[in-house]
Structure 1
Amino acid sequence: MTRNLYLGADLTPVFTAGSPQALVAAVTTAFAGVRATNFSERAKALADEIAGADPHLVGLQEAVLWRSQTPAQPGSATHVEYDFLQILIDELALRGKHYAAVATATTGDHEAPSPHPAAFRTSASPTATYFWPAPTCPPRCFRSATPKRSSSRPA
């Protein structure tokens, strides 16, 4: 089973902001979007779906970790606002399903200023996070790799 969790916001305005003021405004809007999409509620419905299907393996995209920090300092946002993977795992546990992350790929770790809190940071794994029923999977029982692309074409 695979699902895209949707990180909760369009980050394009954040990455394309043309000034510090535009960046702060874009971050503020993005995080308001994250709050508005209410992942905690969405996770309940997703946990119901996963529990009902009882898959052996679940692949997730955009299982993000949103963090904040006041005052802002580069790389300092450590307070967890939303941990999408943990929220989903907790919801599954409430349904008697015990899953554990067995492979993750963090493809970005971005921090930007905001008025309150002073900084937001998101670590995203949009390509893949896999989790497995915990009792059936010993540590390192599953590996995930991203194939490397060849820089030259065969003749």
Structure 2
Amino acid sequence: MDEKIKDCDCEGDNFSSNDDQNDHTRKDSISFMTWNLFIGADLSPLFSTTILEEIPRRVTEVYRQFMATNYFNRVKKIAEQIAEYKPDIIGLQEAAFWQLRQLMDPHFPYVTFDYVEILLNELQEKGIIYETAALNHNISLQLRSSQGNFVNLLDRDTILIRKESGLKVLNKQEANFKANMITQLGGLPFELLRGWSTVDVSFRNRIFRVISTRLEASSLLVNLRQGNELLDGPVNTTLPIILLGDFNVNNEIAGPPTTYGNLLHFGFQDVWKEVGQGEGLTCCQDPDLLNAFSTLSRRIDCILYKNGWKPISAKLIGAEQQDRTQTALWTSDHAGVIAYLEA
């Protein structure tokens, strides 16, 4: 921890700020990004039937949508956005792992789509090296399709750190929530497992904690319980904290208690509310990603901070028409958020 840490390479000249426009070049600033990459398909057809024999047909339907949303195409635009701003630390949600294998021929090569590996390779081709600092495993499905294949799907959240940022990882944790929503898969109980990852990072002989998570969208009660687990677990520290995530609740304090409201009550501040411009809407485009005009209508993806940070600037990414692929796909059903903070 006494090792001298290099200055952060802070870039991103297109940021707007309530401070001076050159504030993002301060040597003590660190850039953070959060982005839900979109798992690639609407999974609800799997959980909307109580007939077990119907599942293979639903698996085929979901996998076809995943192929149509073409991650190999989308990731090039995602990498372009990352390469433009070069955030020091990235929290990704729905960083999926898909795999297709034949039922009858175990020797036939698996077809694998590892969102994280594909993105890292794309960035490396642009001369930017990121390393996986933490990676937690959430929902896992292994189901037979109606076309003679097994389809494996693993949902993950991850934290990436830019190799040349000068940041040093001291410790990591990867965990699942104890409170998760129970749904039905072909009439059988199925747990919608969610989780979080955290790393303690050293920067110029100071230590801070970064957490990346995605909370439950289908149950406000489960969402609230998961938020309480964060408060009782990785958030319960005196270290400076950055909380990156898809919180899946509208960020309003009024009304019944919410995870977002509880986090603010616990002392967190919202980067976008401090230095963001406009509404900062991040969710959601259509599941096929082909809506002609943006349908972002909620701000549920946030960068929250606590214990000594000073926000400098914040920006949405992946939310504009020019961010779409050449085949008119949005890069994700969510926009990302990137921000600079002074340590």
TM-score normalised by length of structure 2: 0.38
Aligned to 2:84: 52
Q: Residues 117 and 134 from structure 1, CA distance in 2 versus in 1: closer, same or farther, beyond 3 angstroms?
A: farther
Kindly indicate whether residue 41 of structure 2 is the aligned counterpart of residue 5 of structure 1: no
d(CA) in 2 for partners of 1:137 and 1:121?
A: 34
Runs of 4+ in 1 over 6 A off after TM superposition: none
RMSD (Å), alpha carbons: 2.3
Alignment of 1:10-21 (within 5 A): 10-21=42-53
Q: Residues 134 and 142 from structure 1, CA distance in 2 versus in 1: closer, same or farther, beyond 3 angstroms?
A: farther
Unaligned runs of 5+ in 2: 1-32, 173-197, 199-210, 214-227, 233-343
Q: Residues 110 and 53 from structure 1, CA distance in 2 versus in 1: closer, same or farther, beyond 3 angstroms?
A: same
- Matched residue SS, 1:130: strand
Alignment of 1:84-123 (within 5 A): 84-123=115-154
d(CA) in 2 for partners of 1:29 and 1:137?
A: 43
Q: Residues 54 and 15 from structure 1, CA distance in 2 versus in 1: closer, same or farther, beyond 3 angstroms?
A: same
Kindly indicate whether residue 110 of structure 2 is the aligned counterpart of residue 79 of structure 1: yes
Q: Does structure 2 conserve the Cα–Cα contact (< 8 Å) formed by 1:102 and 1:142?
A: no
Instruction: Choose between structure 1 and 2: higher strand proportion.
Output: 2
| 1:116 Cα deviation after fit | 3.2
Alignment of 1:7-46 (within 5 A): 7-46=39-78
Q: 1:129 aligns with which of 158, 162, 172?
A: 158
Instruction: Return the structure number with greater relative CO, CA threshold 8 A, min gap 6.
Output: 1
d(CA) in 2 for partners of 1:142 and 1:66?
A: 28
- Per-residue CA distance 1:41-100 (angstroms, 9 max, x = gap): 11000101001101100110100000122217xxxxx93421111111111001100001
TM-score normalised by length of structure 1: 0.81
Identity %: 27
Instruction: Choose between structure 1 and 2: higher helix proportion.
Output: 1
Q: 2:101 aligns with which of 69, 90, 104?
A: 69
Q: Residues 96 and 104 from structure 1, CA distance in 2 versus in 1: closer, same or farther, beyond 3 angstroms?
A: same
Unaligned runs of 5+ in 1: 73-77, 151-155
- Matched residue SS, 1:50: helix
Q: Which has the larger radius of gyration?
A: 2
